[in-house]
Chain A
Amino acid sequence: MNFLSQTWAGEWLVGLGRIAVMSRDAVASCLTFKASRRDLYYQIYFIGIKSQAVVLVTGAFTGMVLTAQTYFQFHKVKMDTATLGVVSVAMCDELGPVLTALMVAGRVGAAIAAEIGTMRVTEQIDALRTLATHPIDYLVVPRLLASMIVLPLLTVEAIALGICSGYLVGTQLLGIDPTYLYYNMLRYTGDIDIVFGLVKSFFYGGIIALVGCYKGLSCGMGAEGVGRATTEAVVYSSITILITNFFLTLALQRLYVLMS
């Protein structure tokens, strides 16, 4: 075991095992309602309310640039009014949930890892344990629940703003017919696209919180350890989101086909 953990692959496997055990404990703790509501509300405020600006700007400008690029291609084949349909489906299925998650991972994942990592190096985690409080109950569960509640809501905001700003760019800047643009957007966007986006964002919320908490709880000693934990939290959660996105897309499509 010691030999295994000294290699890069071994370290990675040990890390995966530990994060799996932490996730199991966190889910078990969620089911037994050990977290305090006060902590949960604060985390909803911190993760949700304080991420508004970054998510809204991301959603708006993604919708705008996607509209412009789609229009430039579709205009060549006289399909201008289908532009917002593409933007809408892309925002609901992929760009809304993924970009929102990546932005929140950068802001919140880093903050979670830095806060918990600093608590670890200053013995505050040990102090919690001596006060008969499980770090999973007190630190991980409120962040996990808040992140999983808030991310779908932030994603909805990003999607809505992305489509609205795309509509404005299409009608005001690019001169596309507003009625057909709107009609085609509704025609090509199904309820299932929105459901896919929300389901994905729910999982991404879990990934951001779990990776951030794990990196904080397992961070090395000193300022260097906290710095590394913070960086790794952002990098690993972002990569995990992108990889998960591919498999979730396939799985959800398959599930949809089987159910319909």
Chain B
Amino acid sequence: MIEVRQLKKSFGTQLILDGVDLRIESGESAVIIGRSGGGKSVLLKHVIGLLKPDAGEVLVDGDLITRMNERQLLRVRRKFGMVFQGAALFDSMTVAENVAFGLRRHEHLTEAEIARRVAATLDLVDLPGTQKKKPAELSGGMRKRVGLARAIIYEPRFVLYDEPTTGLDPIVSDSIDHLIMRVRDQLKVTSVVVTHDMRSARRVGNHVFMLHDKKIYAHGTPEELFASQDAVVRQFIDGVADAKEIEL
């Protein structure tokens, strides 16, 4: 279970999060939606301890991670896999080396066993036979799949996705959505997906949180949120710009 309590974060004088509360149960597939630059990725990075909050708490399975130092956090992070917006693949390594990174660092396996697990995970993300390619040779969608393979190979309990479909065409986005659902169902992981893609949010989530004005403004099942008549929620879901923004 992941619990965030009264989380506050600012960069310099700019306040990004101002008292965020949310609770994600084990096995849940949570989606955090909100406007670009609204602090969704910042919130996600707090969940895995990549950022320290100015105030507030983050608990993972009851452990207060906000008071842990970097070495203590490393133990907690073994429960997590994270897929980055730009994939963040290690560009000096091949696909196989990227995917095997976590296994090589933390598990004492033979090279044959590592190769077998890499191949199986690449099959799961529909990228068989790409082991020897370098990240620079891959398309955006393929890079995200490799990032996902790297995040799930050691079978974490939580998988965090930072804008998994941003910058991809609708067909590739659709395949990434299916992949997220496949990983969720086959590996029984708790997923946290940050997105502003409404179609994706509706499909992959069973609990949607809307971040607005530096707080969780609304949350509920996708059906509840998408049926909401609240003006702010409706504006975001329908994608209607303010008159002021149209002038810009």
Interface stretch, picked from B1-9, B74-82, B171-179, B236-244, is B74-82
Q: Shortest Cβ distance from B121 into chain A, in angstroms?
A: 14
Q: Which residues of B are found within 8 Å of A123, using beta-carbon distances? A: 84-86, 88
Contact of A134 with B90 at beta-carbon distance under 8 Å, contacts A126-B50, A129-B50 already known: no
With beta carbons under 8 angstroms apart, the residue of A124, A129, A130 that contacts B90 is: A124
Q: Shortest Cβ distance from B143 into chain A, in angstroms?
A: 11
Is residue B132 within 8 Å, beta carbon to beta carbon, of the partner chain? no
The winner among A122, A129, A130 for most chain B CB atoms within 10 A is A130
As a 0/1 sequence over residues 126 to 145 of chain A, the CB contacts with chain B under 8 angstroms (1 = contact) are 11011111100000000000
For window 85-99 of A, CB contacts with B under 8 Å fall at: none
For window 156-195 of B, CB contacts with A under 8 Å fall at: 160
A46–B75 Cα distance when bound, in Å, is 31
- Decide if B82 touches A134 in the complex (CB within 8 Å): no
Is residue B48 within 8 Å, beta carbon to beta carbon, of the partner chain? yes
- Decide if A130 touches B86 in the complex (CB within 8 Å): no
A131–B70 Cα distance when bound, in Å, is 13
- Decide if B90 touches A132 in the complex (CB within 8 Å): no
- Decide if A132 touches B70 in the complex (CB within 8 Å): no
Q: Shortest Cβ distance from B91 into chain A, in angstroms?
A: 8
Is residue B117 within 8 Å, beta carbon to beta carbon, of the partner chain? no
Interface stretch, picked from B100-108, B205-213, B222-230, is B100-108
- Decide if A132 touches B84 in the complex (CB within 8 Å): no
Q: Which residues of B are found within 8 Å of A127, using beta-carbon distances? A: 82, 84, 88-90, 150
A72–B35 Cα distance when bound, in Å, is 75
Contact of A126 with B45 at beta-carbon distance under 8 Å, contacts A132-B75, A134-B70, A134-B71 already known: yes
The winner among A122, A123, A126, A127 for most chain B CB atoms within 10 A is A127
As a 0/1 sequence over residues 145 to 159 of chain B, the CB contacts with chain A under 8 angstroms (1 = contact) are 000001100000000
Instruction: Give the bracket for the number of chain B residues in contact with chain A.
Output: 20 to 34
A123–B90 Cα distance when bound, in Å, is 10
A124–B70 Cα distance when bound, in Å, is 17
Q: Shortest Cβ distance from B170 into chain A, in angstroms?
A: 25
Q: Which residues of A are found within 8 Å of B45, using beta-carbon distances? A: 126
The winner among B48, B88, B101, B102 for most chain A CB atoms within 10 A is B88
- Decide if A132 touches B82 in the complex (CB within 8 Å): no
- Decide if B106 touches A132 in the complex (CB within 8 Å): yes
- Decide if B71 touches A130 in the complex (CB within 8 Å): no
From B102, which residue of chain A is reached at the shortest CB distance? A131
A124–B88 Cα distance when bound, in Å, is 5
Contact of A122 with B86 at beta-carbon distance under 8 Å, contacts A131-B105, A132-B77, A133-B105 already known: yes
Q: Which residues of A are found within 8 Å of B160, using beta-carbon distances? A: 130
- Decide if A132 touches B102 in the complex (CB within 8 Å): yes
With beta carbons under 8 angstroms apart, the residue of B74, B89, B101, B106 that contacts A134 is: B74
From A28, which residue of chain B is reached at the shortest CB distance? B71
The winner among A123, A124, A132, A134 for most chain B CB atoms within 10 A is A132
With beta carbons under 8 angstroms apart, the residue of A119, A122, A126, A132 that contacts B105 is: A132
A122–B90 Cα distance when bound, in Å, is 9
- Decide if B74 touches A132 in the complex (CB within 8 Å): yes
Q: Which residues of B are found within 8 Å of A122, using beta-carbon distances? A: 86, 88, 91
Q: Which residues of A are found within 8 Å of B81, using beta-carbon distances? A: 130
Q: Which residues of A are found within 8 Å of B82, using beta-carbon distances? A: 127, 130
Q: Shortest Cβ distance from B206 into chain A, in angstroms?
A: 24
- Decide if B84 touches A131 in the complex (CB within 8 Å): no
Q: Which residues of A are found within 8 Å of B106, using beta-carbon distances? A: 132
A231–B77 Cα distance when bound, in Å, is 34
Contact of A130 with B78 at beta-carbon distance under 8 Å, contacts A122-B86, A124-B90 already known: no
A52–B90 Cα distance when bound, in Å, is 28
A126–B150 Cα distance when bound, in Å, is 14
For window 161-188 of A, CB contacts with B under 8 Å fall at: none
Contact of A130 with B105 at beta-carbon distance under 8 Å, contacts A122-B88, A123-B86, A123-B88 already known: no
A249–B209 Cα distance when bound, in Å, is 63
A123–B48 Cα distance when bound, in Å, is 14
Q: Which residues of B are found within 8 Å of A132, using beta-carbon distances? A: 74-75, 77-78, 102, 105-106
What residues make up the interface of A, taking CB atoms closer than 8 Å to B?
119, 122-124, 126-127, 129-134
Q: List 27 A-B contacts (CB under 8 A).
A: A122-B86, A123-B88, A124-B88, A126-B45, A126-B50, A126-B84, A126-B88, A127-B82, A127-B84, A127-B88, A127-B89, A129-B74, A130-B48, A130-B50, A130-B77, A130-B80, A130-B82, A130-B151, A131-B77, A131-B102, A131-B150, A132-B74, A132-B75, A132-B77, A132-B78, A133-B101, A134-B74
Q: A123-B84, A127-B84, A132-B105 are in contact. List 9 more A-B contacts (CB 8 A).
A: A127-B89, A129-B74, A130-B48, A131-B101, A131-B105, A131-B150, A132-B75, A133-B101, A134-B74
